Structure 1
Amino acid sequence: MPPRSTSSHRIDLVRRIDLTTLRLFIAICEEGNLTRASQREAIAASAVSKRMHDLEEALEVALFERHPTGMALTPAGESLLHHARVTLLNVEKIAVDMAEHARGVRGHVRMLANLSSIVEFLPDDLPGFFRSHEMVRLDLQERASAEVVRGVEEGVAEIGICSADVSTRGLERFSYRRDRLVIVVRSDHPLTRSGKVTFADTLDYDHVGLFATSSIYLRSQYTAQQIGKSIRLRVHVPGFDAVCRMVQAGMGIGLIPDRAFEVLSHGMGLAAVPLRDDWADRELVLVARDPAGLSATSHLMLAHLRSPSVSAH
């Protein structure tokens, strides 16, 4: 029999891989065991086993290492797991989009954004867009900056907003907004008498830190290491409001953007001490995989967030 051409093999492969098989494959990966996966998906174990055998045959690779206690992924299996999750996520997006069109919604934008942009800027920047596009819906999810980049790369969202400090790899990036980090202290704290301080000046005090993967915490940790000190971290918290509350409670001092302090600190008896460090002046950027390939509604959103009327705020 003559060998199949690459194109005919791809067509045959597409026909032989179905969504149910991909869902079962993911279930085995997550459960680590075919029997538990079959119980979870309410399909006979023999049928699941047959599907996995046919899948490996279609792909012409081994996806699992089979052991008495369970199944472990091969490198090829790890690669397929990534693609399978993205595929099922895209199918879910199709279902959501079609349901919203059925309800009269005329477009859907998916965006990932870091905490800073969600607290400081998007509440001011989004209303103008929705006044002009009332039938558009926005799915906005908060992620750490590095996770924003990864999510846009993997197709979880079309647009992202993250700190310019993180590597945006092959994504297109556009300047969005700027802020400046400040040290949050109680109004009776000794640092309030200093005017401006360096981050090094703060390391003799207990700190309330943001979650460990936030770009703000990572940058502060790196700075401390560079000067041969460590941060006296009392507690990690998930957001800027929690930083302010912990500082108010006497748990330490915190590092947050100036605009977030203005929004969140009213009536709390707190003060913001400016930082002298150059890195405290931050840029936030918009990222997208291919601006020309965005959906029409996402393209409108990106254009709005890049507009002079937004950046001038």
Structure 2
Amino acid sequence: MHFDLADLRLFIHIAEAPSLTQGARRAYLSPAAASARIKALESQFNTRLLYRDSRGTELTSAGQRLLEHARLIMRQVDYLKSEFTDFSDDSAGHIRIFANTTAVTEFLPEILAGFLAKRPGVSVDLKEKLSRDIVRGVVDGSTDMGIIAGPVTAPGLQILHFSTDRLVLAVACAHPLAERTQVTLEETLAYQHIGLNEGTTLFTFLRERVEQVGATLSVRIQLSSFEAICRMVEAGVGIGIIPESAALRHRQTMELSIVELDEPWAVRERSILVRDLEALPGCVRALITTLTK
């Protein structure tokens, strides 16, 4: 079996694009040339990889499997190039990160600012993802590393614990719950909540916890940051479940009360997920060292 890296990269472009034409454009090929290369790949593997029609392309089950392997192969090629750039120095390279809401909005920006300021040759692609998508991205090679909170089920991946946070209830100082030291999730459901936007990791997690107790979360407004949530809470608009680290920081400038959540899932272990730490480029390993030290 013989195929070259250019064919695998072309296949990835087509699989990630709405159509063969757009995938070919990303690979700087004509649609006819791209189609011929894909047919040659299918001949090599002796199976159909794509369904093609007027609406675009769709991967077959064999094509989905090839996409997973192709991504891993191309990532390893990128790692090889990076390792031999400055001979494994961590001063150059590209890092792809899938992370949850708290990581993206709370602590990663500050950490990355200091990390990148010392390494002008390093670039970062940071994307907020749901926990299941973070795990899947590390498994299939879509990302170099994942940052996740809470219990992790990730067979075959290395899990590196680096910090602990907890979810708490933020309320206005005059709120009826402000005098409580602890409160359960069910007790908070009698009040309107202020949450993050739909699709964020934390909002999805909380909604699932509410559904588990057979209730519905009454959301008055959804916002894009913990700071915005705290400002609404301070104004008496509603209550919000947020990370303790964010609540403590914003309490320094706002009139907020913090109430402990009496729930086993409130304590959140933060972990880094990787396929193989030693196989990662120097710049990725350096960032992981920065996070875990």
TM-score by length of 2: 0.76
Say which SS state the counterpart of residue 169 (structure 2) adopts: strand
1:139 equivalent among 109, 120, 124: 124
After the TM superposition, which residues 55-66 of structure 1 pair with which residues of structure 2 at under 5 Å, given as runs?
55-66=41-52
Say which SS state the counterpart of residue 188 (structure 1) adopts: coil
Q: Measure, in 2, the Cα distance between the counterparts of 1:112 and 1:35.
A: 29
Shift of 1:45: 3.5
1:175 equivalent among 161, 186, 198: 161
Shift of 1:231: 0.9
* Deviation sequence 1:32-55 (CA, Å, 0-9, x none): 544565567664443333222222
Q: Which of structures 1 and 2 has the larger relative contact order (alpha carbons within 8 angstroms, sep 6+)?
A: 2
Do structure 1's residue 228 and structure 2's residue 218 form an aligned pair? no
Say which SS state the counterpart of residue 264 (structure 1) adopts: helix
Aligned to 1:279: 265
Distance 1:234-1:65 versus aligned 2 partners, 3 A rule: same
Q: Measure, in 1, the Cα distance between the counterparts of 2:8 and 2:281.
A: 26
Shift of 1:154: 3.1
Q: Measure, in 2, the Cα distance between the counterparts of 1:39 and 1:25.
A: 12
* Residue type of the alignment partner of 2:192: D
Distance 1:92-1:245 versus aligned 2 partners, 3 A rule: farther
Distance 1:161-1:136 versus aligned 2 partners, 3 A rule: farther
Do structure 1's residue 17 and structure 2's residue 8 form an aligned pair? no
Q: Measure, in 2, the Cα distance between the counterparts of 1:124 and 1:71.
A: 41
| Worse-matched range after superposition: 154-163 or 133-142 | 133-142
Preserved contact between residue 113 and residue 140 of structure 1 (Cα < 8 Å) = no
Preserved contact between residue 90 and residue 282 of structure 2 (Cα < 8 Å) = no
Distance 1:236-1:89 versus aligned 2 partners, 3 A rule: farther
Distance 1:228-1:35 versus aligned 2 partners, 3 A rule: closer
Aligned to 1:3: none
Do structure 1's residue 47 and structure 2's residue 67 form an aligned pair? no
* Deviation sequence 1:61-105 (CA, Å, 0-9, x none): 11223446554332112223344455556666777x499859x97
Say which SS state the counterpart of residue 183 (structure 2) adopts: coil
CA RMSD, aligned part only?
3.9
Return 5+ residue gaps in structure 1 as ranges: 1-8, 308-313
Shift of 1:258: 1.1
**Which has the greater radius of gyration?**
1
Say which SS state the counterpart of residue 166 (structure 1) adopts: coil
Aligned to 1:311: none
Distance 1:65-1:278 versus aligned 2 partners, 3 A rule: closer
Shift of 1:270: 2.8
Distance 1:281-1:40 versus aligned 2 partners, 3 A rule: closer
* Residue type of the alignment partner of 1:50: A
* Residue type of the alignment partner of 2:185: F
Preserved contact between residue 206 and residue 234 of structure 1 (Cα < 8 Å) = yes
Distance 1:253-1:36 versus aligned 2 partners, 3 A rule: same
Q: Measure, in 2, the Cα distance between the counterparts of 1:33 and 1:101.
A: 38
* Identical-residue share of aligned pairs (%): 32
Return 5+ residue gaps in structure 2 as ranges: none
| Worse-matched range after superposition: 230-239 or 41-50 | 41-50
Shift of 1:204: 1.0
Aligned to 1:198: 184
